[in-house]
Chains A and B, each alone.
Chain A
Amino acid sequence: MSEDILSVAAGWRDAGEAVAIATVVETWGSSPRPPGSRFAVSESGRMAGSVSGGCIEGAVADVARRTMQDGKPQLLDFGISDEMAWEVGLACGGKLKVFVEKLG
């Protein structure tokens, strides 16, 4: 993986911020980012990397903010169906799972 989101996020953490990292763990169909792609969010709202083409980063950032407070990891499904809690869809029709965890 060429993009070093992990070290960017670790740098924010070392500077004293709470940080959460989201990682694509599984994809189906035409999801734009492959498994292993990372998206980092800090408590002051800094962001780096991506888990999609920009369709779901807002929703993931909301969950990331909760995760960096309570420390509880979350596994999110996107683009599955309307009944799912996560109604933010992917315009491309792909589906994916994103794991969100607090860093450090």
Chain B
Amino acid sequence: MTPETLSRLQAAIEAKTPVALCTRLSDGAQLLFPEDEAEPGLATAAEAALAADKAANHEGWFIHPHNPPLRLFIVGAVHAGQAILPMAAALGYAVTVIDPRSAFATEERLPGVDINHEWPDDAMAQLKPDTRTAIVTLTHDPKIDDPALDAALRSQAFYIGALGSTRTHAKRVARLQEMGHGEDAVARIHAPVGLDIRAVTAPEIALSIMAEIVAVRRGSRLASR
């Protein structure tokens, strides 16, 4: 890899611009898609590799997609949310904590994390969740969780989870349906949140939530309920 290719690749990663490093395996020649010109077949394959977030081979070229990190929005700067932070970082997620209650969402409780103090509907409008975003609500407070879930259901987020017992969730579903969300829509919400590992402590709850997010992302049978 030439110094020029390396620095351009690093610049794209830093700028969170999706880019595919294409390497001709016979001689090591490289180009960056879509910045550099690629023949149509290679360009199509590189586009597909970026969309699938999966490396691919095309007529002697190795295509290595570099997408921006997956995002995780945590609604509620509660204890379990704090415990999620180091795990999410290790798993490659860029985390934003959304909590309008300034007593909870402090720099001291959430060192080095993006904090958004807006109400969740405004925060979601700013942050624009997409197919590479997971959203978890943790506050138990309908004033905060409901607008977050309302926005989440109107997005393409690949994972939506809500903390709360089965009974709490049934009431929540009724409220979301009153807001106009159909049965299929509310069925997207994973609740009670997380894989059933009988989690008790905050780190255990964090583990069960992150495990479920990974299971959904990777298409594991554990993801279906």
Question: Which residues of A are interface residues toward B (Cβ below 8 A)?
Answer: 1-3, 6-7, 10, 13, 21, 23, 25-26, 34-36, 73, 75, 97, 99, 101-104
Contacts and interface: CB of A to CB of B under 8 A. Distances in A.
Interface in B83-101: 90-92
Consensus secondary structure, chain A interface: mixed
A99 B1 contact: no
Contacts of B26: 75
Nearest to A3: B92
Interface in B6-40: 6, 9-10, 13, 23, 25-28
Interface residues of B, number: 24
B64 interface: yes
Interface string B52-79: 0011110000101110010000000000
B159 to A, nearest CB: 16
Contacts of B66: 1
Contacts of B56: 35
B1 A36 contact: no
Contacts of B64: 23, 35-36
Contacts of B126: none
